Amino acid sequence: MSEPLVKGWCPGAHRPMRSGDGLVVRLRPFRGEVSAVQVLALCDLSQRYGSGLIELTSRGNLQIRGVSSEDHPALLQALDGHGLIDSDPAQESRRNILVAP
């Protein structure tokens, strides 16, 4: 069995990862919670700016795939407006910490 390939960073909203279908924009919900209003907004934004699919990662994050580089700034602004991301990229990157509930 081979070792897993480490890309060097964990993608986030401000620092997405390029994939075959565009950018992967990963969201780390605050306290692991998303309100019904935020879920509806996330569905709309995924259809408007991405492939329309929202993935749940093995660590409980959400990600939108298929985002174009041109649409990324508008998506960030909309996500911030709905309280789904930190507006500060440095703070968002430090919030990837797992704790027992």
Span 9-30, pLDDT tens digits:
678 898 999 999 999 999 988 8
pLDDT of 57 reads: 87
As to burial, measured by CB atoms within 10 angstroms (0-12 exposed, 13-18 middle, 19+ buried), residue 42 is: buried
Q: Comparing 24-33, 36-45, 78-87, which segment has the lowest mean pLDDT? A: 24-33
CATH topology assigned to domain 17-91: Alpha-Beta Plaits (3.30.70)
pTM of the entire predicted model: 0.82
Please give the average per-residue pLDDT across 36-57, as a whole number.
95
What is the pLDDT at residue 97?
56
Q: How far apart are CA 48 and CA 46, in angstroms?
A: 6
The pLDDT of residue 99 is above 60: no
Residue spans of the domains in the chain: they are 17-91
> At a CB cut-off of 8 Å and minimum separation 6, what does 84 contact?
13, 27, 29, 34, 38, 41, 42
- What is the rounded radius of gyration, in angstroms, for the C-alpha atoms of the chain? 13
